[in-house]
Amino acid sequence: MADSSKAPFAFEGLDRVLHEKARLSIMTSLADHPKGLSFTELRELCGLTDGNLSRHVQILEEAGMVSVTKGFEGRRPLTTCKLTDEGRARFSDYLGVLEQVLRSARRKDAPEKNLREKFT
Amino acid sequence: MTDIDSALDDIARLREQLAASSRFQGLAPGVVALTGLFALALGGWQLRATEEDLFVWILLAAICALMIGTEAVVRSRTHHRAMADRMLTTTLNRFLPVATAGAIIGIVILLRAPEHGRLLPGLWQVLMGVGIFSVLSNLPRQMLFAALFYFATGTASLILSANNALSTAWLMMVPFGVGQLLVAGLLLHASREAPHG
């Protein structure tokens, strides 16, 4: 594993399970809805097809980050997805690293911005 | 505001949301049970020695708070990782005012109006119930029973403190000894459940 002091932009903490557009979208939607979301709501919020959503939810479930419960609403089957405690902790860790990435980018961007402002 | 600032704001909001909806796992059943056993031991000693001193209970409460607090910091770092500080701050912000109120009421009554000291066990138990209620949204749902237990024993202790039938040792030992063992049992039960959704 790379030494973070020697390679400050290695960002080793970026969780590979989460570092994917669809899964990031699912995790963000679920983080905003602590009581969970139905499969249909999640599909609409993430703009994914049924097949894609199922595949990514299954990956997150196998990683212990999302819990899936199957029940009924009236007579209709209802699948609900929720973040687990492990999912919340790992997503928070991931967001922490993402925050570092953005802060690094802002520091890198600042001198160029200052120069632009000076000469325009 | 730049795109980066806006993204950083979104990340901060999401992390707050994650911390607010997470169950606090800093409370160790073993340490909580030990505080219950301390209460039973202190009460037993006071009954044998026919002691009624309530200051010693404040001292025990401070020691227990230190034990639970130290363990909570260690466990939070393990369970909540990046969220640990947020989780600890949120829990402390909710529980600390109630604990401070209990300490102020206790010290002022014992120093300035010791004749009303018999009311303290009941008041402390009611405050304990309020404290648990205030952090209930971040604790296992079973902890509601612990809050209700302390409200019930607090009410009973306040009623019983009106007559001198029971010593303050009984009014402290049974509710806090049994109460803390109940809290430990509920925490243990919750920890054996499926991961919190």
Could you give the ipTM of this predicted complex?
Answer: 0.74
Average pLDDT of the segment spanning A40-68: 95
Digitized pLDDT (tens) for each residue of chain B, 197 residues in all: 688 888 899 898 888 888 888 889 899 999 999 999 999 999 999 999 988 899 999 999 999 999 999 999 999 999 888 888 888 998 999 999 999 999 999 999 999 999 999 999 999 999 999 999 999 988 999 999 999 999 999 999 999 998 777 899 999 999 999 999 999 999 999 988 755 55
pLDDT given at position A106: 80
Least confident of A8-12, A15-19, B142-146, B149-153: A8-12
pLDDT band at A1; cut points 50, 70, 90: very low
Go through chain B and tell me how many residues it has: 197
Q: Pick the residue from chain B with its C-alpha nearest to A83.
A: B197
Question: Which of B25, B82, B197 shows the shortest C-beta gap to A96?
Answer: B82
Indicate whether A12 pLDDT > 80: no
CATH of the domain at A111: 1.10.10.10
Q: How far apart are CA B64 and CA B147, in angstroms?
A: 18
Q: Is residue A9 part of a domain?
A: no
Q: How far apart are CA B71 and CA B33, in angstroms?
A: 13
Q: How far apart are CA B167 and CA B160, in angstroms?
A: 10
pLDDT given at position B32: 97
pLDDT given at position A69: 93
Q: How far apart are CA A112 and CA B11, in angstroms?
A: 25
pLDDT given at position B75: 94
**Residues on chain B touching A95 (C-beta within 8 angstroms):** 11, 14-15, 18, 82
pLDDT given at position B90: 87
Q: Is residue A67 part of a domain?
A: yes
How many domains is chain A partitioned into structurally? 1
How many percent of chain A have pLDDT more than 70?
A: 81
Q: Pick the residue from chain B with its C-alpha nearest to A106.
A: B4
pLDDT given at position B194: 52
Mean pLDDT of chain A: 84
For chain B, the structural domain boundaries read 28-188
Q: What values do phi and psi take at A37, rounded to 5?
A: -135, 150
Query: Counting beta carbons within 10 angstroms of the beta carbon of residue B94, is it exposed (0 to 12), middle (13 to 18) or buried (19 or more)?
Result: middle
Which residue segment(s) compose the domain that A41 sits in?
Answer: 21-119
Query: Counting beta carbons within 10 angstroms of the beta carbon of residue B4, is it exposed (0 to 12), middle (13 to 18) or buried (19 or more)?
Result: middle
CA distance A29 to chain B (A): 10
Angle at B151 between CA B26 and CA B24, to 5 degrees: 15
End-to-end CA distance of chain B: 35
Q: Is residue A109 part of a domain?
A: yes
Whether residue A85 and residue B79 make contact (CB cut-off 8 A), yes or no, is: yes
Average pLDDT of the segment spanning A56-64: 96
Average pLDDT of the segment spanning A35-41: 93
Contact B171, B121 (CB under 8 A): yes
Cα radius of gyration (chain A)? 19
Q: Is residue A75 part of a domain?
A: yes
pLDDT band at A114; cut points 50, 70, 90: low
Q: Is residue A12 part of a domain?
A: no
